[in-house]
């Protein structure tokens, strides 16, 4: 038996609601994935900083903020970051504390 237009509209409305819910779930999953990636990145990078500069562990939040503000305001640091971003960087072996080609190029 053929469906009436009203029944077809009802079926389409139901499918639209299901798709809207599916979209909502997918967006939530994407936000969660991005949040976890960001937290993971922050944790790794801060751990790396603490391993190279253990003195930062004892800084207060305000002292740490001042340290970061002064570090990023430094022209040399900005040039190093620009160089790394532009050329790509070879990984630094933290355990060996060896420098990369990028480090050697930007040394004074």
* Residue 57 in tokens: 């562990």
**Alpha helical stretches, state H, the chain:** 5-52, 61-73, 75-87, 101-106
pLDDT for 1: 62
| Cβ count within 10 A of residue 88 | 8
Number of domains in the chain: 1
Asked whether residue 10 is domain-assigned, the answer is yes
Asked whether residue 93 is domain-assigned, the answer is no
Asked whether residue 15 is domain-assigned, the answer is yes
Asked whether residue 84 is domain-assigned, the answer is no
pLDDT for 108: 43
Asked whether residue 32 is domain-assigned, the answer is yes
Helix 75-87 to helix 61-73 angle, to the nearest 10 degrees? 70
> Are 102 and 89 contacting, i.e. CB atoms less than 8 angstroms apart?
yes
Asked whether residue 100 is domain-assigned, the answer is no
Look at residue 10 and give its three-state secondary structure. Answer: helix
pLDDT for 92: 54
Positions of the chain with pLDDT lower than 50, given as ranges: 94, 97-108
pLDDT for 74: 87
* Segments forming the whole domain that contains residue 8: 1-57
Biggest CA pair distance of the chain: 84
Asked whether residue 69 is domain-assigned, the answer is no
pLDDT for 3: 83
């Amino acid at each position: 038996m053929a469906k009436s237009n009203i029944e077809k509209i009802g079926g389409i409305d139901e499918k639209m609601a299901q798709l809207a819910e599916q979209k909502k779930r997918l967006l939530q999953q994407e936000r969660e994935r991005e949040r976890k990636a960001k937290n993971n990145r922050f944790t790794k990078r801060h751990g790396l900083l603490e391993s190279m500069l253990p003195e930062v562990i004892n800084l207060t939040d305000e002292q740490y903020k001042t340290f970061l503000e002064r570090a990023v305001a430094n022209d040399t640091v900005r040039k190093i970051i620009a160089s790394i971003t532009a050329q790509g960087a070879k990984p630094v072996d933290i355990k060996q504390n060896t420098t990369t080609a990028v480090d050697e190029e930007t040394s004074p």
